[in-house]
Structures are given as structure tokens and as C-alpha cells.
Chain A
Amino acid sequence: MKATKAIFKKQLKATGANPESLIQFIIFPLLAWAMLAMMGQDDMVSDFAALPLPQYLLDELVREMITAMPNMVTMQATIFAGMGLIPIVAAVIADDIERKSLRFLSMAGVKPSSYLIGVGGVVFFLSFFSSLAFTLVGSFFGMEMLIFMGAMMSAVVGSIVLGAAVGILCGNVQSAAGLSMPLALVLGFGPIFAQMNDGVARFYHVFYTQHLNLIADYLNFGVTDTPLWQSFAIIWANIAVISIVFALVYRKKGIVG
């Protein structure tokens, strides 16, 4: 516990010393808010007002357009949890391995689990506030807020463990960036494509980011083909599989470098 606390504080200070790294935790909720503000219903009504259609048809058209479009909160939350976090965690761990800092921590008696919980804990902590910001932008309150936070933080855990596996596997920052970015793109953007194509949606049905997307969409529109419990179960099953991958990578490569 002492070691975990020390690593957590060290990582928090390191993040604070590099304010640029905090942008990732702010930009996605901010983008969701900006996009929502820019794509308001009123603007669409005025855009379509010139069309020679009766008012009830114009209203229906605008409603259809809004429903068919990916929701901005859903989209940005999925991109944040799937794409933003994996490279961050991978880079931090790969950097500590590359600089041999982990060797000194290990010699001081810090267990790999303490190190990973300390580093992952900071990302989890910061992501918690980003997720709260998403709930405000998406106007999720009460039970909706709990469900959304539950889904977000579960997906965050999945991405943290996956990022840790990438960081350990690569062992240096350059390789970690090379591997984590395509992985993050696939996980972060896949669910957005899945909204536009049924084949892609079927493929992504096994991925945790897709179910974060589905849960958030359900909270926005109130309809879903996949029950909530099933989406949560698939997210947690993903975390279990990712943890096994992590354990295999850890056994093969170790953490000391």
C-alpha cells in the first residue's frame, strides 16, 4: 500500500509537471459539448426552413436527422475511453522501463502490481472527472448518471490494462506509440463506423468500446437491441480477457527491463 501510494503520487506529480498530458482528459468532453452546441436543433430548423415543405414534415425531418446522427456525447466518450487512454498508459510504462526507473523501484521492493495500480490509478482518477464532465454535457442525472459512469469507468479499466500490456510488451516509448495508436484507433473509432454499417456492428459486438457506445446511446435515445446487463457483461468479459493478455505479456517480458 505504501509503495502504491508513493507511485500514485509520483505519477500525479509527473502528470502535473507536463500539463500537455492533461489535455486528453479535457478535450473529449469539451469537443462533445462544442459539437452539441454547434449541431443544435434550432440551427437545423432554420437550415431546413427554406424547403417548400409543411411544418409537420420539417419537424419530422429534423427529428429523423438528429436520431440518425451519432450522438456527440456517445461518440466522444467512446473515443476517449477507447482511444485516448491506451497510448497514455502505454507511454508512461514504456518510458519507465526504457529509462530503467522500474529497475530501481523493483530493487526498492516495489511489486509490479503496486506499480501498475499506482500508475493506472492516476489515469483512472483523472478519467473519473472526464467521465463526470461527459455526464454533465450529456445531461445524465440520477440512475442514468450511475449507469453511464459504471460503463465509462469499466471501459477505462479495460483501456488501462490494455495500455499497460502494450507498454510492457514494447518496453520503449517509440514502439509503444507505434502499437498503441492503431489499436486505439480500432477500438475508439470502430463503434462509430458500427453505427453506419450492420456488418461492422456485428463484428464490433464483442468489443468493450462498442458496448460503452451502446449503453450511452441507450441513455440518449431510450432504445437498444442489446440489454444493459448483456453490454455490461461483455465489457467485463473484455476486461477479463485483456487481463489474461496482460498476464501473458508480463510473464514473457517482465516489467523491469
Chain B
Amino acid sequence: MISVSMTNVEKSFGENKVLKGVTFETQQGEIFGMLGPSGAGKTTIINILTKQIAADSGECHVAVSSSEIGLMLEHDGLFVQLSVMDNLIVFEEIYGIPRSHTMDVLEKVGLTEAAKTKVTDLSKGMRQRLVLARALLHKPKILFLDEPTSALDPVTARGIYQLIRDLREAGSTIFLTTHNMEEATNLCDRVVMLYNGKIIEEGPPKDICQKHDSMKTVQDLEGVFVKLTGGGLK
């Protein structure tokens, strides 16, 4: 069953054409990776899919309502005057979730001991985990993660990978953007590579690597990307 799809979507900001006929679809219960360098249009795609901006042309489909979507975006949108727990309580009350579930989520992201800490006193990694907790709170059917582990230490990142896998096991679709090819290789069931507003490759990470490995020079997704674009990711 298709969870998210885009067909021939175009989007410009002024003179700058960010998306040039993007087409892809994700299946329910998969971890889908959108790869590309900064400025490739990954965040724009998430913003279009979550109806925060409109596409200039093309069609978009998200199989669930906005309240069944979990979001972890570039701007965390946390209430900085409040504590970790109070941030979650706002959404717990909106969704009508029992407190015991909120405590479970807090424990899953490893923030139980920091529950009373004010957001302004959190480290970058703790803040990122709080945003993930907020995104997971209502057991979303589709989870959009925009660069979920950027600027995180490897231990925290691994914890987040495990949470993402657990969510997939529970049947959720995970749509993540990243420019970290290693993350995409280890985590994603399928990926698309976005470059200059166009999709240049798609498929399971292993298949993509094998497809471009005829000369035995390409060993990972980063190698594929460099081969296809003639440039790096950063």
C-alpha cells in the first residue's frame, strides 16, 4: 500500500527552481530515505508533503490525515520556556494520550531523568531526542524526519536509529531526509537520490551499489552519488 507519493512535482522560489518534476512513492511500513546534498530540495519535499507550502504543479498524496503524521523538522518548534515534560504534556493533552504512554516515550528516548529540565538547558542531542519524542507521542502512521541525526554524537544517533527501526516494526512508514550516506545505507529499505531538484537514482541501497559496481570502484552510496553527479555531498 502506498503511503506517500509525488508525481511530477515542481516548485520554484522566485527565479530558483528547486524541484524539477520529482516523482516517487513510498510503501507502508518501510524506511524511505531521501538523499542529497544541502539545497537539493529535500526539506522542500517534506514541506510540500506536510502541506506547509504548496507545489507549483504536480500531484502529492499522503495516505493519512495531518494528525496521524509525526514531524521532526529542521526548526524544532519547542516551547523553550517549558520543561521537557511540559513540552510533551501540551501534545499529550491535544491528542488525548494517557500519561503512562508519555512516560514510556520519554524513557524510550532516554530523557526520563531530564523530564524537569527546561528546554534552554538541554544539549543539542537531548533537544533532538525531545523532538523525536514529540513526533512519536501519538504513534504516527507516517513519520517525516528531516536530517534526524545531524550534529548528533554517534551514540545518540544509534539510539535514534533503533527507535526508527522499532517504529517500522510497529507498521509506521518513515520518510527521512539525510546527506549522510552511511546512515541511509544502514537504515533505509529504499532510497532516492536527489540532485539539483531531480531524482537521479532510486532503489534499495544494496541494489543501487551493485548496479553501479561493475568496475569494482563503487562500494557505497556516497561512491554512487559521486559517480552520478561528479561531485561530493557537502
Contact = CB atoms under 8 A, between A and B. Distances in A.
Contact of A13 (B65, B80, B82, B138): B82
* Chief secondary structure at chain A's binding surface: helix
Interface string B6-38: 000000000000000000000000000000000
B77 to A, nearest CB: 4
Interface stretch (B87-95, B151-159, B222-230): B87-95
Nearest to A9: B93
Contact of A107 (B69, B76, B93): B69
A205 interface: no
Contacts of A3: 94
B94 A6 contact: yes
A7 interface: yes
A103 B79 CA distance: 12
A103 B66 CA distance: 11
A202 interface: no
A107 B75 contact: no
B50 interface: yes
A256 B52 contact: yes
B73 interface: yes
Nearest to B80: A99
Nearest to A256: B52
Contacts of B76: 100
Contact of A5 (B75, B77, B93, B95): B93
- The CB with the most chain A CB atoms within 10 A, among B69, B77, B78, B138, is that of B77
Contacts of A222: none
B52 A108 contact: no
A108 B94 contact: yes
Interface string A131-172: 000000000000000000000000000000000000000000
Contacts of A105: 90, 94
A107 B68 CA distance: 9
Contacts of A256: 52
A147 B133 CA distance: 49
A106 B91 CA distance: 11
Contacts of A17: 81-82, 118
B77 A104 contact: yes
Contacts of A108: 67, 91, 94-95, 138
Interface of A: 2-3, 5-7, 9-10, 13-14, 17-18, 99-110, 256
21 contacts: A2-B96, A6-B89, A6-B94, A7-B90, A9-B89, A9-B93, A10-B79, A10-B89, A14-B79, A17-B118, A18-B81, A99-B75, A99-B78, A100-B73, A101-B78, A105-B90, A105-B94, A106-B66, A109-B65, A109-B94, A110-B94
